[in-house]
Amino acid sequence: MLSQELQKSLQDLQLDPAYVEDLAKRTIAEDLDGGEDLTTVSTIPAAHTSIAEFRARKAGTVAGVVVAAAVLEVCGITDYEIDLRDGSHVEEGQKILTARGETQKLLLAERTALNFMGRLSGIATLTQRWVMDIKGTNAKIRDTRKTTPLLRELEKFAVRMGGGVNHRMSLSDAALIKDNHIVAAGGIKEAVEAVRAKYPDLPIEVEVDTLEQLAEIVDSAADLVLLDNMNLEQTRAAVAIAAGRVKLESSGGLTLENAGAYAATGVDYLAVGALTHSAPVLDIGLDLKNGK
């Protein structure tokens, strides 16, 4: 069981402590594969203790510190200090987390803790770059469901730590009517009306490929329209057609180089799948000190 303090920290960040604890246990079990850390138990006495410092090798935005803390606790390390909180900017060489305890346990936790922090900090760092590139506009950077299977809660958390906002967490949170739904339902209006009839209070987003489709549904029951692969000229025209009657989200063809231009058109969101499916890992390492 994770400590009460850590459980509260996870809850404050909108993370489920039971999910994080289970994930930490399963990843450590994967690393051991039913055995033990052969190298560590052969070279380091059980009574040996150390101080472990997690430090950034590159500058970025930190995420996953509380997840690393959960890994430490699962491995039997309860004496640790969080030096930089999730969502903080970190400079190269700066300390993020300090842990003290049996060296064997610290080394057992090392790779799993670093995997989580590196992956999640990479997502947060990339998200922060997108957020800064559209600064001064009213648009928000939003993620997608293009996440690593079973890691969605953590990866969407990392997006929030980078200053982005989350799209739906699951298929049951909101309706997103896409081209295949439209074909099967017999048309855009038919699809929207079918969802609204079955789920009157559910948020509805509709994907459109053309300005004609947008004009057809701008006054429908949809809450938001996703503009799929529209260029800047089409996006500006879409904003004019919508005229504030429905929120708009740009998706497809977005890059860090053109994000500012798209945000300046007046759309409400930029949907960026790359935040979670293509973020490079932030290089973080662990150094042992004062071994005894």
What's the whole-number mean pLDDT along residues 116-129?
Answer: 98
pLDDT surpassing 80 at residue 292:
no
Residues 170-190: what's their mean pLDDT?
92
CATH of the domain at 119: 3.90.1170.20
State yes or no: pLDDT of 290 exceeds 80: no
> pLDDT tens digits for 23-60?
999 999 999 999 999 999 999 999 999 999 999 999 99
C-alpha 41/C-alpha 272 separation (Å) is 44
- Claim to verify: residue 137 and residue 253 sit in the same structural domain: yes
Domain check: are 181 and 73 in the same one?
no
Shared-domain flag, residues 137 and 118: no
Over range 176-198, report the average pLDDT: 92
- Mean pLDDT computed over every residue of the chain: 96
51-65 pLDDT, tens per residue?
999 999 999 999 999
The pLDDT of residue 291 is above 70: no
Same domain, 88 and 109: yes
Are residues 141 and 272 located together in one domain of the fold?
yes
* Domain containing residue 98: 4-128+280-289
Q: State the pLDDT at residue 17.
A: 98
Which pLDDT score is estimated for 219?
A: 87
Residues 85 and 136 in one domain: no
Residues acting as catalytic residues: 111, 146, 178, 207, 228
- In this prediction, residue 222 carries a pLDDT of 87
Q: Are residues 32 and 105 in the same domain?
A: yes
Domain count, the chain: 2
Q: Are residues 137 and 269 in the same domain?
A: yes
The answer on 272 and 142 residing in a single domain is: yes
> What pLDDT is attached to residue 221?
80
Query: Which of 69-83, 108-122, 186-200, 252-266 bottoms out in mean pLDDT, i.e. has the lowest?
Result: 186-200
- Report the CATH number at residue 163: 3.20.20.70
